[in-house]
Amino acid sequence: EPPAWAPGPAQAAALLEEAADLLVLHRDFAAAVERCEAGCDSLGAGPGPGHESFAEVKCSLCVVGIQALAEMNRWREVLSWVLQYYHVPEHLPPKVLELCILLYSKVREPQVMLEAGSSWLRAQANQRLPELGTLLELYLAEVLLPLGLFEGAEELVRGCAGLDSEQQLALLGTVRESRRRWALREETRSPAEEQQEPATETLLGVLSQKLLTMLTLLRRALRSMSNHFYLLPYKKMLLATFLLYLVVVRLDPASPTSLPFIYKLVQLFRQAWAAVLSPIHRPPIRD
């Protein structure tokens, strides 16, 4: 049974040190989360304003807990885990919010932070914080702009009263540039996608014709030389024929154009090979 810890920032600080050791030195992530939870619980609702040590210890406990949860691949729990100690996104410390944004961006789930990040950045109490500009820039770069929410990004920038005019202009320029690159990427991608399938089918048709031609020649050769090939295992013949096909067609497996249809070619090859083998019979073994 874990010891009964007395509440208060001092005990929470001791639990923080223990949790950090478990995380970094022992890599016992589950135990580290337990210590962080015990530390946050020991702080309770916390003292009134002005107790900076209380806020720092609680924030550090959450940072260690977030890292431990991520190490255990429990990143889906992170946001709800920290909110059970801060209750609403607007009360999250800047460092905790930053870590959450980076985490969900890293796992390609930026939409998880849409509501929490927007609520924090729009909160009146956070407009006076020095981290406002940095967090807004991070939120734009990792959440809104990758999701293509350009109008929401511009509205958010204009609604942040804590930004000066120079900061707003710089961030709006970033949004416009991102919108321009997004539109350009969409314009260049659509024609390429439209042409990719016909080009792929054309190349597949050429390769298929070469394969069929080669197999026709091979079939004739096997018919005329069946008496000499009946002792050769079919698997070795299959491998040798496929290698010969690669030499004739010069198909490069590393080429990006070969990847979409190489599976179809293999299927076609198997079907054609079955057709080649079907009329060939081994000669009877004579005493």
Task: Note the pTM of the prediction, 2 decimals.
Answer: 0.63
273 within a domain of the structure (yes/no): no
Nearest alpha carbon to residue 52 among 87, 13, 15, 98: 13
44 within a domain of the structure (yes/no): yes
Span 237-285, pLDDT tens digits: 544 444 444 444 444 444 443 444 444 444 555 555 555 455 444 445 4
228 within a domain of the structure (yes/no): no
Alpha-carbon gap, residue 279 to 277, rounded angstroms: 6
270 within a domain of the structure (yes/no): no
- CATH, residue 83: 1.25.40
Number of domains present in the structure of the chain: 1
Q: Would the pLDDT of 217 be above 70? A: no
63 within a domain of the structure (yes/no): yes
Q: What does the pLDDT read at residue 7?
A: 53
Q: Name the percent of the chain lying above pLDDT 70.
A: 60
Span 116-159, pLDDT tens digits: 999 999 999 999 999 999 999 999 999 999 999 999 999 999 99
**Whether the Cβ atoms of residue 113 and residue 104 lie closer than 8 Å to each other:** yes
60 within a domain of the structure (yes/no): yes
**Domain containing 110: what range?**
7-143
121 within a domain of the structure (yes/no): yes
Span 1-54, pLDDT tens digits: 444 444 567 889 999 999 999 999 999 999 999 999 999 998 875 544 445 678
Q: What does the pLDDT read at residue 202?
A: 46
164 within a domain of the structure (yes/no): no
Residues 6+ apart with CB under 8 A from 95: 59, 63
